Amino acid sequence: MASELIFEVHETEEGGYYALAVGHDTITQGDTWDELKVMVQDAVLRHVEDHEMPGTFRLRRVDRILRNRDISS
């Protein structure tokens, strides 16, 4: 595993967050930003072998992607 593991963070319509590990099959969620950070650490510990543990976890917030129909007036 790389020395850095990046999670793309998306806000849900209900107000919480979910995070997807880029290039990996790991996803987690949290009701608050602080809870999400704890859940990301837990997900990594559960899904990554000790010898593959990255040195850094990065949370990258992703804004909603606008589609053409969203910006057309």
What was the pLDDT predicted at 65?
A: 61
Pair type for strands 17-21 and 27-30: antiparallel
**Secondary-structure class of domain 4-64 per CATH:** alpha beta
Tokens representing residue 39 in the block = 């859940």
| Greater model confidence, 67 or 45 | 45
User: Which tens digits make up the pLDDT trace of 9-40?
Assistant: 999 988 899 999 998 888 999 999 999 999 99
Banded model confidence at residue 71, pLDDT cuts 50, 70, 90: low
Closest CA to 1 of 70, 68, 49: 49
Partner residues linked to 29 by β-bridges:
18
The pLDDT assigned to 23 comes to 86
